[in-house]
Amino acid sequence: MNNKYYSPLVFELSKPGRSGYSLPKNHWGEHHIGDINENLLRQNKPELPEVDELTLVRHYTNMSNNNFGVDTGFYPLGSCTMKYNPKINEEMAALPAFTSLHPTTPECLTQGALELYYNLQRALSEISGLSEFTLNPCAGAHGELTGLMVIRAYHQSRGDHKRTKIIVPNSAHGTNPASAAVCGLQIVEVGSTPQGTVDVEALKGLLNDEVAGMMMTNPNTLGIFETQIPQIAQLIHECGGLMYYDGANLNPMLGVCRPGDMGFDVMHINLHKTFSTPHGGGGPGSGPVGVTAALAEFLPNPKVVKGEDGLFHITYSDSALGSVSPLFGNFSVLVRAYTYILSMGREYIPMAGKLSVLNANYIKEQLKAYYKLPIDGLCKHEFVFDGLLEEYGGGAHDADKVTTLDIAKRLLDYGYHAPTIYFPLLFHESMMIEPTETESKETIDQFIEVMRKIALEAKDDKALLHGAPHHTPIRRPDDVFAVKNAKFTF
């Protein structure tokens, strides 16, 4: 069970006049630190906490120990692939030859870095089946926006200005409609079948010559593989639109199947998920965008190409998009992803995808006697429960029921990060679980055991669940209040 240190604010530890440094008038050996000129001294005391060095060190060390991360425990966060980030990635990204490289260093002095950039573009092309990649976008949503701008530029280059509508399934990730809106496109929602896949009959009724394209998240946010993709791609192409693939959920398909082969024209990949680079708390990320050969001219600048001289060159075209990020995006994330690809190789990359599917299905099957599974059948890397089964006290919006929030809070008591809750929005009590391929069977079995235990607790002692967590420094903050009244300073 968790029993972590409660840390006060560093300002609460402050004692007037206490200090964590000394500035002696030093005449030691050859070194002389003189007096600071009067005119350089500040007139008012800074409003900083006054603490001694050891108090400060303990304060931050204890706070860091309160952090939960994939290096400290199981993190079954659906739709976010919190997989382990191998340490060799960090070692490579920390190489001084990379970290001390200035982004505007001339090509002739940066051949190694450009080769890495070029090779990663090629590797992603091979993995996805799309011809060309830009690695410049700095996040998944940034990749979506870039990809949609490519689609818009394509239609505009053909004088097809009335194509301003983008079809987005109701099972898509929330960033899809958001990115489309930022791109100035109108969102047309298409529903899902009871099996959780796109309703193709409903889609047919939405097609016309105003459709710029369709965005699909696959596997979708229910963790289900969209089996009708070839038919959907044909329908969209026949009506003159392009197919966009949200590849943030590419993990289960690694080395098994490729969006380019399914009929997609544009996609983004989240390196900070599928390719094991760390993320969380907003970045830094990387959302490379891949396109078919026909759309390559619309990719943003700059590009890295391999010349006939065998050297790597940075090129700028008169692409309609211009640039989407400062130079090459988040380069250190690219180093980590490339290291992951090289260290896994063709041999082990497909294994990652398959194991992530096996692990998710194993948990689902072991727990479906306790938790409500709205869509049964084979899932990919993640799946969704709709809260506890009624016989275990489950139910929505009723003080007498045990909700998904209660279960998530109780998991914290057992030392687990909660899964994604209340997303996707298709069910009242969604709880989205993604174990990833990096967890051992022992860890997964322990998690299953705890989830069963929580179900039994819910049946016997609802109050225990309603009051959870019982062993964390902070228990149930009012998160809606916190979001509406964000206060970032003391």
Ligand X SMILES: Cc1ncc(COP(=O)(O)O)c(C=O)c1O
Which is it for strands 242-247 and 266-269: parallel, antiparallel or unpaired?
A: parallel
The span of 29-37, 93-101, 244-252, 403-411 binding ligand X (CB under 6 A) equals: 244-252
Q: Which is nearer to ligand X, 137 or 415 (CB)?
A: 137
Closer to ligand X by CB, 328 or 370: give it: 328
Counting contacts by CB under 6 A, is residue 79 touching ligand X? yes
Q: Which of 175, 197, 277, 430 is close enough to bind ligand X by CB under 6 A?
A: 175
The answer to the question of residue 246 lying near ligand X (CB under 6 A) is yes
Q: Which two tokens stand for residue 234?
A: 């044909």
Of 7, 136, 270, 404, the one binding ligand X by CB under 6 A: 270
DSSP labels, 359-403: HHHHHHHHHTTTB--SS-S--SS-EEEESB-GGGTB-SS-TTSBP
Stretch that binds ligand X, among 201-209, 242-250, 369-377, 479-487 (CB under 6 A): 242-250
Residue closer to ligand X (CB basis): 219 or 469 = 219
Tokens of 408: 């998530």
Comparing CB distances to ligand X, the nearer of 51 and 82 is 82
Q: Is 251 in the site for ligand X (CB under 6 A)?
A: no
The count of residues interacting with ligand X (CB under 6 A) is: 14
By the rule CB under 6 A, 285 interacts with ligand X = yes
DSSP string, 175-237: HHHHHHHHTTPEEEEE-B-TTSSB-HHHHHTT-STTEEEEEEESS-TTS---TTHHHHHHHHH
Shortest distance in whole angstroms from residue 76 CB to ligand X:
14
Does residue 336 interact with ligand X by CB under 6 A?
Answer: no
Q: Report the residue number, 291 or 454, with the smaller CB distance to ligand X.
A: 291
Query: Residue 357 CB, nearest distance to ligand X (Å)?
Result: 16
Q: For ligand X, what does the binding mask look like between residues 198 and 217, x meaning CB under 6 A? A: -------------------x
In residues, how long is the chain? 490
What binding mask, one character per residue, do residues 123-142 give for ligand X by CB under 6 A, x or -?
A: ----------------xxx-
Stretch that binds ligand X, among 68-76, 97-105, 243-251, 320-328 (CB under 6 A): 243-251
For residue 479, give both structure tokens: 């998160």
Amino acid 84 reads Y
**Rounded-to-integer distance, Cα 333 and Cα 331, Å:** 5
- Using the rule CB under 6 A, give the single segment among 147-155, 233-241, 245-253, 472-480 that binds ligand X: 245-253
For 451-469, b where at least 16 C-beta lie within 10 A, e where not — what string? Answer: bbebbebbbeebebbbebb
Distance CA 115, CA 86 (A): 22
Among candidates 29, 123, 84, 10, which has minimal Cα distance to 437? 84
Nearer to ligand X, 278 or 285 (CB): 285
The contact pattern for ligand X, residues 286-305, with x = CB under 6 A and - = no contact, is -x------------------
Gap between the Cα atoms of 82 and 76, Å rounded: 7
Distance (Å, rounded) from C-alpha 248 to C-alpha 120? 17
Which residue in the shown chain puts its C-beta closest to ligand X? 140
Structure tokens at 25: 């008038």
Minimum distance between the CB of residue 79 and ligand X, rounded to whole angstroms? Answer: 4
The residues that touch ligand X, with contacts defined as CB under 6 A, are 79-80, 139-141, 173, 175, 217, 246, 248-249, 270, 285, 287
